[in-house]
């Protein structure tokens, strides 16, 4: 049976709670047509896993029932046997078998989520923070959804100075770990180039305790916030900058961004390649040469889009939860195409 389009609002309230915790855990979401007979409860099969929530959506027949099972935080990295057991349950499910999992949505926000058996769920719609640790055979923009990290700093709610440009005396701000792996190795190089430069605050630290307070103050008093890659191309720092209304300066050739079919990041962000960023004085010269009017225009647009990165309960129209469900809805035609093709192909493809 083809998957009907889910209504965003009835299920978003359930998904809101889920998204607040799925940076530490994985969750399997079954989108099940209510016209089909109910399957045996996975909670009766898998010990210590109970249904996270059940709700009904009624936009148009047939409605969907959304079942969510929140998994232990250790599930992603250490619990190989549990992952195997869960996959056994999924593969035996009539709902998984009817589409080979193509009409299932699996949040994988943590870079190590489902790390042992990812290739067994590669036909499902995955919700990821970026594709830094996923192969092209597993995840792609064609079928998956990029979701924002939950921001760590508080949102800047009263950012209405008479002169926003002068209200932010620092040109460029960065605070984070400078020793990273993969593409994040650029941080150490940037530290050598930018640290102690006029107008720059480049600090090594963690976003914990007083570090969060320091990051909040630094972002709110800076015109631009640096976002180099970490262990993966994206991180919560980018979304901290957005809700602080500090224009992001993104350095990465591989980053994918949330909701990009609806949001034009070039209107409120700057992008540099790794080569450009490491060129002495190039980055700072570009920032210093931006006219005040252009900066204020980008700052205003950044303020206007920042609500899209707020995870709220109950969800509101246009917030992160609502936006993610809209992205899932956009994938439904491709899901139906894949399901229908799979019924007649003699040599099956993975999608």
pLDDT at 42: 39
Which residues 6+ apart lie within 8 Å of 78 measured at CB? none
Q: What is the pLDDT of residue 9?
A: 36
Q: Where are the domains of the chain?
A: 8-150+313-342, 170-308
Per-residue pLDDT at 148: 94
pLDDT for res 139: 86
DSSP 267-299: GT-EEE-HHHHTSTTHHHHHHHTS-HHHHHHHH
Residue listed under structure tokens 């992952």: 83
pTM score, two decimals? 0.78
Q: How far is CA 171 from the centre of its chain?
A: 27
Where would I find the H helices in the chain?
A: 8-21, 80-92, 94-97, 186-194, 210-220, 236-243, 274-277, 282-288, 292-305, 320-342
Choose among 27, 31, 8: nearest CA to 103: 31
Token output for 216: 């909040």
Q: What is the pLDDT along the chain (351 residues), one digit of tens a residue?
A: 334 433 333 333 333 333 333 333 345 554 443 334 444 443 333 334 333 343 444 445 454 445 555 555 555 556 777 788 888 888 888 888 888 888 889 888 777 777 788 888 888 999 998 887 788 878 888 899 999 999 999 999 999 999 999 999 999 999 988 776 566 578 888 988 998 899 999 998 887 788 899 999 999 999 999 999 877 788 889 999 999 999 999 998 889 999 999 999 999 999 999 999 999 899 999 999 999 999 999 999 999 999 999 999 899 999 999 999 999 999 988 888 888 888 888 776 655
Question: CB neighbours of 289 closer than 8 A, spacing ≥ 6?
Answer: none
Q: What does the DSSP assignment read for 38-51?
A: PPPPGGGTSTT--E
pLDDT of 45? 35
CATH number of 170-308: 3.40.50.2000
97 CB-contact burial (10 Å; exposed 0-12 / middle 13-18 / buried 19+): exposed
């Amino acid at each position: 049976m083809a998957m009907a389009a889910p209504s965003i609002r009835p299920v978003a309230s359930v998904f809101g709670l889920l998204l607040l915790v799925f940076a530490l855990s994985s969750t399997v979401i079954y989108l099940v047509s209510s016209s089909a007979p109910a399957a045996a409860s996975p909670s009766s099969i898998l010990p210590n896993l109970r249904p996270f929530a059940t709700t009904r959506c009624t936009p148009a027949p047939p409605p969907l029932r959304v079942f969510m099972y929140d998994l232990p935080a250790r599930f992603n990295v250490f619990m190989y046997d549990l992952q195997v057991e869960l996959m056994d349950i999924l593969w035996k499910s009539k709902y998984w078998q009817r589409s080979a999992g193509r009409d299932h949505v699996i949040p994988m926000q943590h870079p190590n989520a489902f790390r042992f058996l990812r290739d067994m769920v590669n036909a499902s719609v995955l919700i990821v923070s970026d594709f830094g640790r996923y192969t092209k055979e597993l995840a792609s923009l064609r079928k998956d959804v990029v979701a924002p990290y939950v921001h760590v700093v508080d949102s800047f709610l009263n950012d209405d100075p008479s002169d926003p440009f002068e209200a932010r005396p620092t040109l460029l701000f960065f605070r984070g770990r400078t020793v990273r792996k993969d593409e994040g190795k650029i941080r150490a190089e940037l530290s050598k180039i930018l640290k102690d430069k006029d107008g720059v605050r480049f600090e090594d630290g963690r976003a914990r305790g007083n570090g969060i307070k320091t990051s909040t103050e630094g972002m709110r008093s800076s015109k631009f916030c640096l976002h180099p890659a970490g262990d993966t191309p994206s991180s919560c720092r980018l979304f901290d900058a957005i809700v602080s209304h500090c224009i992001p300066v993104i350095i990465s050739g591989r980053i994918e961004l949330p909701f990009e079919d609806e949001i034009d990041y070039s209107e409120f962000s700057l992008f540099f390649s790794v080569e450009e960023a490491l060129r002495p004085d190039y980055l700072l010269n570009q920032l210093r040469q931006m006219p005040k009017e252009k900066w204020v225009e980008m700052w205003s647009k950044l303020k206007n889009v920042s609500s899209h990165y707020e995870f709220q309960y109950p969800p509101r129209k246009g917030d992160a939860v609502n936006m993610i469900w809209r992205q899932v809805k956009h994938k439904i035609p491709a899901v139906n195409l894949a399901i229908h093709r799979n019924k007649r192909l003699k040599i099956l493809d993975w999608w």
